[in-house]
Amino acid sequence: MKGKRYASVTAREARLALWMLLPAFLIVFAVIVFPVVANFWISGKSVSLGDLRPATPSLREFVAQAPSEAGDELVLEYRLRNSSRGVPIQDVVLEATVPEGLSPAPNDAPAAPDAQHCSIEAGRIECRWDEWEGGFSDTITFTFIADQAFFDAQVDMRSPTEADISGRSINVLTTFDFTLDNFRFVVSARRFWEVLRTTFAYPFLGAIGSILLGLTAAMLLNRKFPGQTLLRGLYLFPYVAPIIAVAFTWVFLLEPFRGTLNTYLMSIGVLESPISFLSTRSIQIGDLPFPLALSIVIFFDAWRYFPFSFLFILARLQAIPSDLYESVEVDGGGMVRQFISITLPQLHSVITTLFLLRFMWTFNKFDDVFLLTGGAAGTRTLPIQVYDNAFGRGDIGAGAATAVVLFLFLAVFLILYFRYVVKED
């Protein structure tokens, strides 16, 4: 009796939990989990941007020759087209009504109806096709003889037969034919390996940059002084400001034609002529080529995301007990010794975590590079490639395949992250 009651309480609780989690679960499932799976699915399909709209048969009715008195011919045209260039339409049916007073011309008339598909019976036109392939277009012509009844009925000459057309097209996304062509395309792309190199260099150096800057800022503000709170707020701001605002500001600041930075550097004699910072692949420094645009993008990343490292490192710094420092001071160790033997070891774990997180997040960051350079001048990364394939070239399948490659890399990082960073709560 007691046991049963307990069991029912547990079951009720589990049921309640299910209901409470359901909204969150549904939204997240529909918009995050399902698309990730769907992405794998689409990557095996040959789909272009235009195919997303379902293929529909289209029909235009057109009176090519109007009768002027009883006994004249009326020539009617149906212009037919498949709206999609690639997707076929099955079981197309055209139905129309022949208005009062029109009778089919004898079959020996110059433009006989397409007997293979169409028939006229009891005042009704009916045409059937098994399939229209992608890009199908055709014109069929009927010739009628009009008598007086036709003129009396005052037929609308824009669409005298009120034709209607219907068909059934497959949804390209739900078929079961798969291909590996997309992956072949992605891997054999002319610059795939270069893109891959950039895809790794950008988050790697960006993460290091943002951590170094964050560490510096945290060391600077790890002490009370007037204006410290204000500076802390200011230092966090690049991270919370809208990406589109800061990216455009940087683009403008770095502009080659009378841009502020170029003009300033020229006025103090560092530059002789303006540089297009974001569209110069590399410049020579001494004998070495220096990847300029990529470096600027990396610097932007460090600038925008250092607050994140700053916040965590500052919190960690403030948690270091001061007697640790005192013990080094007693041993006669200066600031450098204190930093190396106390601060750095204490920060070790937070810096590792920060590196992994920042690396992962920058690895699949799209907005920043897209808005700064659009992927030009040696800054093309996989996320940009995803966008370019899917929406620039209009090849949804190839875009999805690129995203799958990206996701597989990410999966490796996630495994590392969950193994080494997220332990039991």
Partner 1 sequence: MSRTASTVRPFTLGGVALAGAAGVIATWLVTYVGYFVVSMLNPSNILPNLGPTAAIGLVLGVALAQMGPALQKQKGLAVGIGLVAGVVWLGLTMAFGVALPLTFLVTTLAMFAIAGLSIRSVFLGVDVAHLRKDYVEAVVFRLVRGILLCAVTLVVALPFFFMLSLSFKTRAEYLGDPTNLSVNLIQPIPELFSGFIEVLVRFNFGVYIFNSTAIALLTVVITVTTGILGAYAVTRLRFPGRRFLSKAILLIYMFPAIVLVIPLYSVFTQLGLRDTRHGLLIVYSAMTIPVALYMLRSYFQTLPADLEEAGLIDGCSRAQVIWRITIPLSGPAIASVGLYVFMIAWNEFLFAFMFLDTPAIFTLSRGMMVLDDMEVPRQLLMAGATIITIPIMVLFFRFQRYLVGGLTAGSVKG
Site for partner 1 in 282-321 (CB under 8 A): 303, 307-308, 311-312, 315
Q: Name which position in 111, 212, 376, 410 contacts partner 1 (CB under 8 A).
A: 410
Distance between start and end Cα atoms, the chain: 37
For the four alpha carbons of 178, 183, 189 and 195, in that order, the dihedral sign comes to positive
Is residue 418 involved in binding partner 1 (CB under 8 A)?
yes
Q: Name which position in 148, 171, 175, 327 contacts partner 1 (CB under 8 A).
A: 171
CA–CA dist 351, 348 (Å, integer) = 5
Q: Name which position in 7, 36, 153, 416 contacts partner 1 (CB under 8 A).
A: 36
Pick from 154, 108, 125, 151: nearest CA to 59: 125
Evaluate whether 300 touches 369 at the Cβ level (below 8 Å): no
Q: Which of residues 120 and 208 has its CB atom nearest to partner 1 in the complex?
A: 208
Please list, in sequence order, all residues whose beta carbon lies within 8 angstroms of the beta carbon of residue 353, skipping any fewer than 6 positions away.
312, 421
Q: Which of residues 54 and 86 has its CB atom nearest to partner 1 in the complex?
A: 54
How many residues line the site for partner 1 (CB under 8 A)?
102
Q: What single DSSP character describes residue 222? A: S
CA–CA dist 372, 299 (Å, integer) = 12
Task: Collapse the DSSP code of 96 into the 3-class scheme (helix H, G, I; strand E, B; otherwise coil) and give the result.
Answer: strand
Q: How far is the CB of 283 from partner 1 (least distance, A)?
A: 21
Q: Which of residues 78 and 235 has its CB atom nearest to partner 1 in the complex?
A: 235
Segment near partner 1 (CB under 8 A); pick from 142-150, 152-160, 193-201, 257-265: 257-265
Considering only residues 362 to 381 of the shown chain, the ones binding partner 1 according to CB under 8 A are: 364-367, 371
Q: Which of residues 142 and 305 has its CB atom nearest to partner 1 in the complex?
A: 305
CA–CA dist 147, 229 (Å, integer) = 93
Q: How far is the CB of 38 from partner 1 (least distance, A)?
A: 4
Is residue 387 involved in binding partner 1 (CB under 8 A)?
yes
Considering only residues 60 to 79 of the shown chain, the ones binding partner 1 according to CB under 8 A are: none
Q: How far is the CB of 406 from partner 1 (least distance, A)?
A: 6
Q: Which of residues 38 and 66 has its CB atom nearest to partner 1 in the complex?
A: 38
Is residue 244 involved in binding partner 1 (CB under 8 A)?
yes
Q: How far is the CB of 144 from partner 1 (least distance, A)?
A: 40
Q: How far is the CB of 193 from partner 1 (least distance, A)?
A: 20
Is residue 170 involved in binding partner 1 (CB under 8 A)?
no
Residue 14, Cβ density class (10 Å: 0-12 exposed, 13-18 middle, ≥19 buried) = exposed
Q: Which of residues 72 and 255 has its CB atom nearest to partner 1 in the complex?
A: 255
Q: How far is the CB of 49 from partner 1 (least distance, A)?
A: 9
Q: Which of residues 2 and 257 has its CB atom nearest to partner 1 in the complex?
A: 257
DSSP symbols for 365-412:
--HHHHHHTTT-TT---HHHHHHIIIIIS-BHHHHHHHHHHHHHHHHH
Q: Which of residues 20 and 153 has its CB atom nearest to partner 1 in the complex?
A: 20
Q: Name which position in 258, 288, 321, 331 contacts partner 1 (CB under 8 A).
A: 258
Considering only residues 224 to 243 of the shown chain, the ones binding partner 1 according to CB under 8 A are: 231, 233-243
* Number of H-type helices and E-type strands within the chain: 15, 10
Q: Is beta strand 282-285 parallel, antiparallel or unpaired with respect to 124-132?
A: unpaired
Considering only residues 190 to 229 of the shown chain, the ones binding partner 1 according to CB under 8 A are: 213, 216-217, 220
Q: How far is the CB of 235 from partner 1 (least distance, A)?
A: 6
CA–CA dist 54, 42 (Å, integer) = 16
What are the backbone angles phi and psi of residue 171, rounded to the nearest 5°?
Answer: -85, 115
CA–CA dist 267, 276 (Å, integer) = 17
Is residue 271 involved in binding partner 1 (CB under 8 A)?
no
For the four alpha carbons of 278, 279, 282 and 284, in that order, the dihedral sign comes to negative
Is residue 25 involved in binding partner 1 (CB under 8 A)?
yes
Q: How far is CA 339 from the centre of its chain?
A: 44
Q: How far is the CB of 92 from partner 1 (least distance, A)?
A: 21
Please list, in sequence order, all residues whose beta carbon lies within 8 angstroms of the beta carbon of residue 140, skipping any fewer than 6 positions away.
77, 78, 80, 113, 114, 117, 118, 127
In the block, residue with structure tokens 């503000």 = 221
Is residue 253 involved in binding partner 1 (CB under 8 A)?
yes
Pick from 96, 109, 102: nearest CA to 148: 102
Is residue 110 involved in binding partner 1 (CB under 8 A)?
no
Segment near partner 1 (CB under 8 A); pick from 149-157, 187-195, 318-326, 386-394: 386-394
Considering only residues 317 to 346 of the shown chain, the ones binding partner 1 according to CB under 8 A are: 332, 334-336
